[in-house]
C-alpha cells in the first residue's frame, strides 16, 4: 500500500508539478551537497571572504572558458608556476592555513636555489663526469676516496677555476631542478621524467647526507612549510646513512633520531608549529630479504621513538618497482604493529601490477594511500576506500610534472572531490619542480580541478581533512589551533590585507 502511494505521489510530482528546470535544480543541488566541503557552514565573515575569493576564481575561469589559450593551468606547470604567483587569488591561497602535509619526500622539498647555496659550504668536493652531464658531491677534509669518473675537485676550486661563476652556478643548478624550457619535448613520458627525477636524488645523495647539511636542510624545510601556512608534517624518508668529516657513518636509526632532534629544536624555536612525524619509506625495487631488513629497522625505530615514527611505506617508480603483492605476506605480518601508508596506483596503466597495488594497499589495511591516481578505474575499491575511510594523498602538481596527466582538469581528483572521497592534498617533492610547499597544489586544485562552484568550503575541508587523516595524537588541539588561524585568515581577506 505505502510503496504504491509513494510511487504515485512521486509520479504525480515528477510529471505535473515539477518542471524540467525544477528537477534540474534539484539534481544540481543534491550533487553539490555530495562534494568535499559541502557540510561546512560558513560564518558571515567567511561568506564575505568567499565572495571575494569566488569573484577572483570566476574571473580566471571565465577568461579561460571563452579563450582557453589564456588559461594558465591547462599549460605545463613550468609555464605557469611563476605567472600565477602574481595573482591576488594565489596570494590569498598562500596566506591560507593549509593544515598538515601528509605526503612529502624529505630531500625533494626545497628549491634548487637552496640546494645551490649548499654547494657553497666548506669542505665540499665535486666530481663531474667528462661531459658534465652528471655530478657527485662529497664533504671531506681530504680528497674523497669514492671513485670519480674524472677527478675530485674542491668545489670552491672548481667554481673559481670556471672563470664564470654565474654560468657555473646556473649549470650546476640544473642538476637540482626538473624545470626546463621545453618539458614536453624532453619529458615525453613517465620514464623520461622519472629518469631525470631519480638523477636528482642520486646526484644530491652525498650532498644531503652530510650530517650538518641534513640537519640544516630539514630545519629549513620546516621553516619553508611553516611559512607556506603548514602547521604539521608527516615526512617520508628512506633514512639514508649520514656521515661527517671525522669519518663517522650513522645508520638509519641515527638518521631518524636526527629528524626527531631537529623537529624538537624547531618546535622550541617556533612553538606555534605542531611538529613532524616520520614515515620510513625505503626503496621498493628490492628483494624480500631487503624488505625484511627494512621492516626490522622500522620496528626498531618505532620501539625507540614510538611517538615519532608513525608508519611504513615503499617508494620508487611504481611501474618499474616490485608489486606490493610480492611483499603481501611480509606486510600482512607486520601491519598490526606498524601502520602502513602505501604508495599505490601512481600509474595510468590500467590492469597492470602497479595499478593493482591499490588492491594490496586496501587489503593490507593502509591508513592512507599515496597518490591513488588509478583509483578512478576501480569502482569497487572506491567504495572500499570510502567504507574503510582510507585517505587518498593526492599530489596534483606532481602527477602533472611526472607525466601521468597533462591537463589538471582531467585529474581524477575532480571525481574524488565530487563525491566526498577522503582526500588530502599534498605536494610530493615540490622543491624539484620549484613549487611552493603547498600553495601551488591548493591553487591548481581550487581553480582547475574542482568545480567552478567549489568555494572556500572545499579549501577549508581539504585543510581539515589533512588534520583528521594525520597520525597526530591529539587532533582536537590541531583543529582548534587551525580554527584560530583560519579566523584570522578570513578577517584579513575581508579587511583586504594579507
Site residues for a second copy, 195-234, by CB under 8 A, read: none
371 is catalytic: yes
The residue from 48, 85, 173, 409 that contacts a second copy (CB under 8 A) is 409
- Residue 419 interacts with a second copy (CB under 8 A): yes or no: yes
Site residues for a second copy, 289-348, by CB under 8 A, read: 319-320, 325, 328-329, 331-332, 348
- Does residue 108 contact residue 237 with C-beta atoms inside 8 Å? no
- Residue 43 interacts with a second copy (CB under 8 A): yes or no: no
Which of 346, 356, 393, 434 is catalytic? The answer is 346
CB closer to a second copy out of 195 and 265: 195
Which of 105, 138, 175, 371 is catalytic? The answer is 371
Q: Select the span of 21-29, 76-84, 245-253, 435-443 touching a second copy (CB under 8 A).
A: 21-29
346 is catalytic: yes
Give the shortest CB-66-to-a second copy separation in angstroms. Answer: 8
Give the shortest CB-428-to-a second copy separation in angstroms. Answer: 19
The residue from 415, 477, 480, 483 that contacts a second copy (CB under 8 A) is 415
**Residues 451-490: x where in contact with a second copy by CB under 8 A, - otherwise, as a string:** xxxx------------------------------------
CB closer to a second copy out of 286 and 363: 363
CB closer to a second copy out of 61 and 245: 61
Give the binding-site size for a second copy (rule: CB under 8 A).
67
Residues that bind a second copy in the complex, under the rule CB under 8 A: 19-21, 23-24, 27-28, 30-31, 34, 61, 64-69, 71, 74, 184, 188-192, 319-320, 325, 328-329, 331-332, 348-352, 355-356, 359-360, 362-364, 376-381, 384, 404-407, 409-410, 414-415, 418-419, 449-454
Q: Which residues are catalytic?
A: 346, 371
Amino acid at each position: 500500500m505505502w510503496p504504491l502511494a509513494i510511487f504515485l505521489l512521486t509520479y504525480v510530482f515528477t510529471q505535473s508539478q515539477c518542471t524540467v528546470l525544477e528537477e534540474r535544480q534539484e539534481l544540481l543541488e543534491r550533487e553539490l551537497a555530495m562534494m568535499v566541503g559541502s557540510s561546512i557552514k560558513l560564518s558571515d565573515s567567511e561568506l564575505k571572504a568567499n565572495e571575494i575569493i569566488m569573484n577572483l576564481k570566476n574571473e580566471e575561469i571565465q577568461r579561460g572558458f571563452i579563450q582557453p589559450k589564456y588559461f594558465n593551468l591547462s599549460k605545463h606547470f613550468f609555464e605557469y608556476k611563476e605567472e600565477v604567483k602574481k595573482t591576488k587569488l594565489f596570494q590569498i591561497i598562500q596566506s591560507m592555513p593549509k593544515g598538515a602535509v601528509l605526503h612529502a619526500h624529505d630531500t625533494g622539498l626545497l628549491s634548487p636555489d637552496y640546494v645551490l647555496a649548499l654547494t657553497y659550504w666548506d669542505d665540499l668536493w665535486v666530481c663531474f663526469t667528462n661531459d658534465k652531464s652528471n655530478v657527485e658531491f662529497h664533504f671531506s677534509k681530504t680528497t674523497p676516496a669514492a671513485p670519480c669518473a674524472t677527478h675530485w675537485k674542491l668545489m670552491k676550486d672548481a667554481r673559481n677555476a670556471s672563470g664564470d661563476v654565474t654560468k657555473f652556478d646556473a649549470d650546476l643548478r640544473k642538476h637540482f631542478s626538473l624545470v626546463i624550457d621545453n618539458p614536453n619535448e624532453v619529458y615525453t613520458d613517465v620514464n623520461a621524467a622519472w629518469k631525470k627525477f631519480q638523477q636528482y636524488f642520486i646526484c644530491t645523495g652525498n650532498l644531503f647526507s652530510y650530517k650538518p647539511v641534513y640537519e640544516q636542510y630539514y630545519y629549513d624545510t620546516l621553516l619553508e612549510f611553516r611559512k607556506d601556512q603548514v602547521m604539521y608534517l608527516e615526512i617520508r624518508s628512506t633514512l639514508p646513512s649520514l656521515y661527517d668529516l671525522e669519518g663517522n657513518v650513522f645508520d638509519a636509526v641515527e638518521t631518524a633520531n636526527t629528524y626527531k632532534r631537529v623537529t624538537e629544536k624547531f618546535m622550541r624555536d617556533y612553538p606555534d608549529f605542531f611538529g613532524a612525524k616520520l614515515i620510513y619509506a625505503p626503496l621498493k625495487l628490492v628483494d624480500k630479504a631487503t624488505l625484511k631488513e627494512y621492516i626490522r629497522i622500522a620496528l626498531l625505530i618505532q620501539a625507540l621513538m614510538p611517538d615519532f615514527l608513525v608508519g611504513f611505506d615503499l617508494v620508487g617508480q611504481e611501474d618499474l618497482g616490485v608489486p606490493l603483492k610480492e611483499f603481501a605476506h611480509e606486510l600482512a605480518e607486520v601491519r598490526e604493529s606498524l601502520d602502513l601508508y602505501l604508495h599505490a596506483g601512481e600509474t595510468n596503466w590500467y590492469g597492470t601490477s602497479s595499478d593493482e597495488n591499490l588492491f594490496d594497499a586496501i587489503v593490507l589495511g593502509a591508513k592512507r594511500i599515496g597518490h591513488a591516481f588509478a583509483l578512478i578505474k576501480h569502482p569497487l575499491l572506491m567504495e572500499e576506500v570510502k567504507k574503510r575511510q582510507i585517505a587518498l594523498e593526492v599530489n596534483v602538481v606532481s602527477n602533472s610534472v611526472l607525466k601521468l596527466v597533462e591537463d589538471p582538469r582531467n585529474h581524477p581528483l575532480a571525481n574524488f572531490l565530487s563525491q566526498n572521497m577522503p582526500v588530502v592534498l599534498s605536494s610530493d617533492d615540490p622543491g624539484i619542480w620549484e613549487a611552493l610547499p603547498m600553495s601551488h597544489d591548493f591553487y591548481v586544485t581550487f581553480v582547475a580541478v574542482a568545480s567552478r562552484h567549489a568555494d572556500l568550503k572545499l579549501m577549508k575541508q581539504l585543510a581539515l581533512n589533512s588534520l583528521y587523516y594525520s597520525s597526530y595524537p591529539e587532533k582536537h588541539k590541531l583543529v582548534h589551533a587551525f580554527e584560530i588561524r583560519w579566523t584570522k585568515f578570513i578577517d584579513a581577506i575581508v579587511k583586504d590585507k594579507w
